[in-house]
């Protein structure tokens, strides 16, 4: 399809990716019918589509949380098909950050601990360096005063900003966001989105954002629309602030 | 750094999960503590009880005794095949007999490996008379030093000094009070037609009332003359280094020598089976309590896994491996087991303390010493912690098997 990136600089490269559920059962259903998609480094992509169009499934496959049942997928130069669960996990660790809906912080841990958790998972302890980096990131998203608060003590918008800081703590090349502004009011929604755009601009991180909100989708650089498990539309959006290395 | 990092993630997340599920965690830890307390208390109690029973019973007994074979009736003529013999064989009365050649047997027995001491004894019945009072007694003639090595008589002296010069006697405490005797007093001993006056040198408490009422210990030579067995010994008493080897030693001696050899297990068959039954019941109780503890921990963790589905999904998305998630729950099980056993051991100590304070014998003394040895405490704690980890295996596998995409979706 009409993607601006060449294969060599592509961060994501999906060709003919298919996903079926309940394979071998009478209720077997294919929800993705051959997706071809390339995303270059530094892109800011909105993934939209009606409910049941398969966009969350696609995001999970891209995020290495689910396996495709057909086709091929390369992320950051690594072919995904042959990897076992551990391989997928380690690749996910190195390559991807996630921002889910606002109730997806760890409720038992403070904002700062949520942001240092990826480091704890990797190293088994949190170094001073990692803690400082987490502090910087939280300060950068405007939460310098809320670092020691639990998620339940934070507003939805604040929680999402913690999630953004968490996704970026190891500077992954790609951040996936699943309805990052779902359940937020308009003001908080704008605030969180602005934060995503700012991080994109400052760090050159690629973003793929699943959203229902056409207002937000319109403020991305590229729009991919999924309908019934197929890409129905894939087009650049002009006028938004483009990252440095985008075509 | 590797050391610092080992299980760092797992431990921190496990502790936080446990702290977050406050009531659940408290309940299960109390449950584990109760289980551990029961196991530790029962073990300590039964160990104390058995040691007490054992000491009381074996304290005044030899581990193995060697005696002359019983007299048996020898038929005048062997019945021929095909003939039927109508006869009424009356069992012989067992008269006092000496172990033949005991003087030469003694060094042989002493040289055997595993034998700690051998003591020749002449024992029989008699009467103790003082003034108007008469008591039937069990008379033992011994060589004090040898006898002491077998039954530790000197440790049981409660009054006077254990000494057995010619004409001396050591008697049980009950007998002393029945006859109004104190060390230094004299009493007459009667057997059959012979009578002899002895001087009491010491009173001993053998731990069993009946023994204390009957026991009179005199020098070997005196007993020989009182019981009409000059130069004889009715039995040789053996003490062994390992009490439990008595049965095997007795068996070997029986095969080797034409004597009647009995181990303490055979003389106290009922006691041995009672002790065994006790040990088996204790083991069974421990096993059942342990199973209950394991099931308790497992069921709480299963619930916790379901409650924590979303967190598990988030952690997996952030790069936690299946193995890490498994270990988070195993560590939780281990922590529950370990903390529960510390609480449980404290509870057991309290129960033991209460037992020693409130459960007393008729004399106001504690019934017997009951202690929780460190080794037993460590063993129980280790077992409970291991059971915690064991109990966590199924829930942990469930947590790891969760599809992160689905877990996040909730």
Looking at chain B, the number of H-run helices and the number of E-run strands are: 15, 10
- Kindly report, residue by residue over B306-358, the tens digit of the pLDDT: 888 889 999 998 989 999 999 999 999 999 999 999 999 999 999 999 888 88
C-alpha to C-alpha distance for A179 and A212, rounded to whole angstroms: 7
Where residue A191 sits, what CATH number does that domain have?
Answer: 3.40.50.300
Exposed, middle or buried by CB within 10 Å (0-12, 13-18, 19+), for B134? Answer: middle
- Kindly report, residue by residue over B373-382, the tens digit of the pLDDT: 888 899 989 9
Region of residue A91 (left: phi > 0; alpha: psi -120 to 50; beta: else): alpha
C-alpha to C-alpha distance for B307 and B298, rounded to whole angstroms: 14
CB contact under 8 A, A124 and B17: no
Q: What is the Cβ-side half-sphere exposure of residue B159, based on CA atoms within 13 angstroms?
A: 13
Please give the mean pLDDT across all residues of chain B. Answer: 87
CB contact under 8 A, A86 and B405: no
pLDDT of amino acid B59: 67
User: Strand runs (DSSP E) across A83-148, as ranges?
Assistant: 96-99
Q: What is the Cβ-side half-sphere exposure of residue B105, based on CA atoms within 13 angstroms?
A: 23
- pLDDT of A247 above 70: no
A73 in contact with chain B, both atoms CB, cutoff 8 A: no
Residue A120: which of B6, B9, B17 has the nearest Cβ?
B9
pLDDT of amino acid A241: 59
- pLDDT of B81 above 90: no
- Kindly report, residue by residue over B260-272, the tens digit of the pLDDT: 999 988 888 888 8
CB contact under 8 A, A107 and B20: yes
- pLDDT of B2 above 60: no
pLDDT of amino acid A246: 41
Q: Which residues in chain B have their CB less than 8 angstroms from residue A95's CB?
A: none
* Residue of B8, B9, B318, B322 to mutate, interface with A, max A Cβ within 10 Å: B318
Q: Which residues in chain B have their CB less than 8 angstroms from residue A129's CB?
A: none
Please give the mean pLDDT across all residues of chain A. Answer: 88
pLDDT of amino acid B5: 63
C-alpha to C-alpha distance for A149 and A147, rounded to whole angstroms: 6
C-alpha to C-alpha distance for B63 and B211, rounded to whole angstroms: 17
Buried b (16+ CB within 10 A) or exposed e, B137-162: bbbbbbbbebbbbbbebbebbeebeb
pLDDT of amino acid B131: 86
Domain that holds residue A136: 7-236
Residue A109: which of B6, B16, B316 has the nearest Cβ?
B16
Q: Is residue A107 part of a domain?
A: yes
Name the band, by pLDDT with cuts 50, 70 and 90, for residue A2.
Answer: very low
Q: Is residue A225 part of a domain?
A: yes
- Kindly report, residue by residue over B60-79, the tens digit of the pLDDT: 788 999 998 887 777 666 76
Q: What is the Cβ-side half-sphere exposure of residue B1, based on CA atoms within 13 angstroms?
A: 4
Q: Is residue A73 part of a domain?
A: yes
A118 in contact with chain B, both atoms CB, cutoff 8 A: yes
Q: How would you classify the pairing of strands A206-210 and A174-178? A: parallel
Q: Is residue A243 part of a domain?
A: no
Q: Which residues in chain B have their CB less than 8 angstroms from residue A117's CB?
A: 315, 318
- pLDDT of B368 above 80: no
- Kindly report, residue by residue over A94-110, the tens digit of the pLDDT: 999 999 887 789 999 99
A67 in contact with chain B, both atoms CB, cutoff 8 A: no
Nearest chain B CA: its distance from A57 CA (Å) = 9
CB A8 within 8 A of CB A187: no
B54/B125: higher pLDDT: B125
* Residue of A89, A159, A169 to mutate, interface with B, max B Cβ within 10 Å: A89
Nearest of A103, A243, A123, A79 to residue A184 by alpha carbon: A103
B155 in contact with chain A, both atoms CB, cutoff 8 A: no
Q: What would the two tokens of residue B150 be? A: 């077998």
pLDDT of amino acid A245: 45
pLDDT of amino acid B221: 92
Q: Would you mind telling me the total number of residues written for chain B in this entry?
A: 410
pLDDT of amino acid A7: 45
A66 in contact with chain B, both atoms CB, cutoff 8 A: yes
CB contact under 8 A, B404 and A105: no
Q: Is residue A76 part of a domain?
A: yes
B4 in contact with chain A, both atoms CB, cutoff 8 A: yes
- Look at chain A and report how many structural domains it folds into: 1
CB contact under 8 A, A108 and B17: yes
Q: What would the two tokens of residue A11 be? A: 């961060």
A105 in contact with chain B, both atoms CB, cutoff 8 A: yes
A46/B51: higher pLDDT: A46
A179, closest residue in chain B (CA to CA)? B409
Q: Is residue A246 part of a domain?
A: no
Name the band, by pLDDT with cuts 50, 70 and 90, for residue A39.
Answer: very high
B231/B370: higher pLDDT: B231
A109 in contact with chain B, both atoms CB, cutoff 8 A: yes
Nearest chain A CA: its distance from B319 CA (Å) = 4
β-sheet bridge partners, residue A43:
none
- Kindly report, residue by residue over A182-205, the tens digit of the pLDDT: 888 889 899 899 999 999 999 899
Q: Which letter does DSSP use for residue A6 in this model?
A: -
């Amino acid at each position: 399809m009409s993607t601006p990136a060449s294969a060599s600089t592509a961060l994501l490269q999906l060709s003919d990716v298919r996903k079926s559920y309940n394979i071998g059962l009478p209720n077997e259903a294919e929800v993705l019918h051959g997706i071809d998609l390339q995303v270059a480094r530094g892109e800011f992509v909105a993934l939209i589509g009606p409910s049941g169009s398969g966009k969350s499934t696609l995001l999970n496959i891209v995020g290495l949380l689910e396996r495709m049942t057909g086709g091929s997928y390369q992320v950051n130069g690594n072919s995904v098909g042959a990897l076992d669960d551990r391989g997928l996990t380690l690749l996910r660790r190195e390559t991807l950050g996630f921002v889910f809906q606002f109730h997806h912080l760890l409720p038992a841990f403070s904002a700062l601990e949520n942001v240092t958790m990826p480091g704890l998972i990797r190293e088994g302890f949190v170094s001073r360096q990692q803690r400082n980096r987490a502090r910087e990131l939280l300060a950068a998203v405007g939460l310098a005063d809320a670092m020691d608060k639990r998620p339940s003590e934070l507003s939805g918008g604040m929680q999402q900003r913690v999630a953004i800081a968490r996704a970026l703590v190891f500077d992954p090349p790609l951040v996936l966001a699943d309805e990052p502004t779902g359940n937020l009011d308009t003001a908080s929604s704008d605030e969180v989105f602005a934060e995503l755009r700012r991080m994109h601009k400052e760090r050159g991180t690629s973003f793929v954002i699943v959203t229902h909100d056409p207002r937000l989708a319109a403020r991305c650089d590229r729009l991919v629309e999924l309908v019934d498990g197929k890409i129905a539309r894939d087009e650049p959006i002009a006028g938004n602030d483009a990252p440095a290395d985008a075509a | 750094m590797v050391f610092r990092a080992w299980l760092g993630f797992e431990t921190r997340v496990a502790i936080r999960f446990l702290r977050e599920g406050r009531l659940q965690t408290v309940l299960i830890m109390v449950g584990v503590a109760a289980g551990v307390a029961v196991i530790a208390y029962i073990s300590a109690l039964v160990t104390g009880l058995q040691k007490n029973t054992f000491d009381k019973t074996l304290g005044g007994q030899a581990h193995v005794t060697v005696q002359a074979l019983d007299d048996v009736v020898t038929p005048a003529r062997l019945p021929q095949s095909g003939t039927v013999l109508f006869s009424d064989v009356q069992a012989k009365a067992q008269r006092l007999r000496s172990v033949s050649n005991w003087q030469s047997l003694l060094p042989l027995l002493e040289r055997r490996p595993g034998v700690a001491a051998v003591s020749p004894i002449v024992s029989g019945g008699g009467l103790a008379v003082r003034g108007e009072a008469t008591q039937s007694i069990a008379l033992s003639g011994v060589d004090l030093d040898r006898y002491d090595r077998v039954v530790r008589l000197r440790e049981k002296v409660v009054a006077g000094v254990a000494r057995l010069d010619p004409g001396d006697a050591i008697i049980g405490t009950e007998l002393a009070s029945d006859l109004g005797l104190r060390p230094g007093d004299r009493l007459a001993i009667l057997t059959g037609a012979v009578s002899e006056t002895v001087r009491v040198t010491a009173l001993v408490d053998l731990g069993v009332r009946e023994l204390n009422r009957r026991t009179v210990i005199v020098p070997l030579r005196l007993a020989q003359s009182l019981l009409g067995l000059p130069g004889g010994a009715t039995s040789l008493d053996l003490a062994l280094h390992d009490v439990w080897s008595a049965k095997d030693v007795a068996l070997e001696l029986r095969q080797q020598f034409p004597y009647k050899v009995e181990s303490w297990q055979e003389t106290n068959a009922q006691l041995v089976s009672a002790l065994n039954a006790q040990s088996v019941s204790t083991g069974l109780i421990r096993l059942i309590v342990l199973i209950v503890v394991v099931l308790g921990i497992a069921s709480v963790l299963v619930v916790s896994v379901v409650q924590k589905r979303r967190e598990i999904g988030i952690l997996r998305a952030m790069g936690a491996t299946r193995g890490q998630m498994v270990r988070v729950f195993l560590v939780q099980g281990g922590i529950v087991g370990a903390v529960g056993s510390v609480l449980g051991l404290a509870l057991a100590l309290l129960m033991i303390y209460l037992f020693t304070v409130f459960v007393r014998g008729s004399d106001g003394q504690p019934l017997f010493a009951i202690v929780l040895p460190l080794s037993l405490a460590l063993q129980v704690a280790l077992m409970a912690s291991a059971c915690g980890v064991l109990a966590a295996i199924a829930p942990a596998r469930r947590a790891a098997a969760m599809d992160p995409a689905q877990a996040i979706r909730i």
